[in-house]
Amino acid sequence: MVDADKHFAGTIPEVYDRLLVPLIFSPYAEDMAARVAAHAPGRVLEIAAGTGAATRVLAERLPASASIVATDLNPAMLQRAQAVPIARGVQWQQADALALPFADATFDAVVCQFGVMFFPDKPRGFAEAMRVLRPGGVLLLSVWDRIEENDFAHVVTAALSAGIPGYPSGFLARTPHGYHDPEVICRDLAVGGFSALPEVVTVAARSIAATAEVPAVAYCQGTPLRNELEAYCAEGIVVGTALAARAIASRFGPGPVNGKIQAHVVRVER
C-alpha cells in the first residue's frame, strides 16, 4: 500500500459522498444497518465511517435509545459527514482504528463498512475492536470482493492500464479490492484475538447510474485514484476520467448504466 491510497482530501470527500455513496455504498449500508439492528445494541461504535454512508442509515434504523459513535481517521471525511443531514444525534470523533480512544468493553457492536482494507495492520485493528467490545458483543464488517466481481471498478482499472502508457492504475485493485479472501480475513480476526468462528456472507448488488460519466467521475475523482492520476501527469485526471467514461459506455452503453457489485459481510462475536 502506498501512502496516497489513504489520502482523502481536497475535493475527494465531496465527490465521494455525492457520487460514489449512491453508486456503490448505499445498498450495503442498508444491509449492514439491518444486521446491526438485529442485535439490538445499546451502544454502537462505527470505525472508518468515511462520509457517513452507513452512519446515516444506522441512525434511521436503530432506536433513539441506542447511542452511535462514528469515527474516522481522516478529518476531511468527517467534516463532510457532519455537513450532511442525519436522522438524529451521532457523536462524531476523529480516531485511529488501530488505537481507539475508548475504554475496554464499552460497546455492544463495532461496525466497519468498507474500511478494513485501508488498515495498515489489520490484526491490530481487529484486536482494538475486540478490546472495546463487551463480552457477547459483535463486530460486523464489510469488504469488497475481488475486482473482477465489481464491474465498474474493473472496467476503469483496465481502461487506465490500456489507455495511459506506463501508468499502473493499481489503486482500486490494490486497496479497495485487495482484501477479499475470506480465509485471510478469518485468519487475521483470529490473530486479533477473536476465538469465535466468523460468519462470512457474500452479498451481490447492482450499481446503477444515469450516465457512463457518473461512475467514471466517481472512481477517478472521488477516491484516492485521483491522487494516483495527479501524480502521473498534470492532465491525468482529465485524461483518466475520459478514458474511464468511454470504456464504461463501450461495455454498458452511454446510460443508464447498470453493473454488478459484490462484497463480503463478516460477523464475529467477542
Model confidence over 111-156: pLDDT tens digits? 999 999 999 999 999 999 999 999 999 999 999 999 999 999 999 9
Q: What is the pLDDT of residue 4?
A: 67
Q: Which amino acid is at 168?
A: P
Of 4-8, 90-94, 246-250, the one with minimum mean pLDDT is: 4-8
Q: Residue 66 to residues 37, 49, 120: CA-CA distances in angstroms?
A: 10, 17, 31
Count of the separate structural domains present in the chain: 1
Whether pTM > 0.85 for this model: the answer is yes
User: Is pLDDT above 80 for 6?
Assistant: no
Average pLDDT across the chain, whole number: 95
Q: Which structural domain, as residue segments, surrounds residue 175?
A: 3-269
- CATH number, domain with residue 251: 3.40.50.150
Phi, psi of 198 (to 5 degrees): -70, 150
pLDDT at site 2? 60
CA 113 to chain CA centroid, nearest Å: 5
Q: How far apart are CA 178 and CA 149, in angstroms?
A: 12
pLDDT band at 1 (very low <50, low <70, confident <90, very high): very low
Beta bridge partners of residue 138, listed in sequence order: 109, 269
- The span from the CA of 160 to the CA of 246, in Å, is 11
In whole angstroms, give the CA distance from residue 7 to residue 171: 12
Strands (E), the chain: 43-46, 67-72, 91-94, 107-113, 133-144, 199-209, 257-269
pLDDT of 258 higher than 90: yes
Reported as a pLDDT band with limits 50, 70 and 90, residue 231 is confident
pLDDT band at 268 (very low <50, low <70, confident <90, very high): very high
Strand arrangement, sheet containing 133-144: 91-94, 67-72, 43-46, 107-113, 133-144, 257-269, 199-209
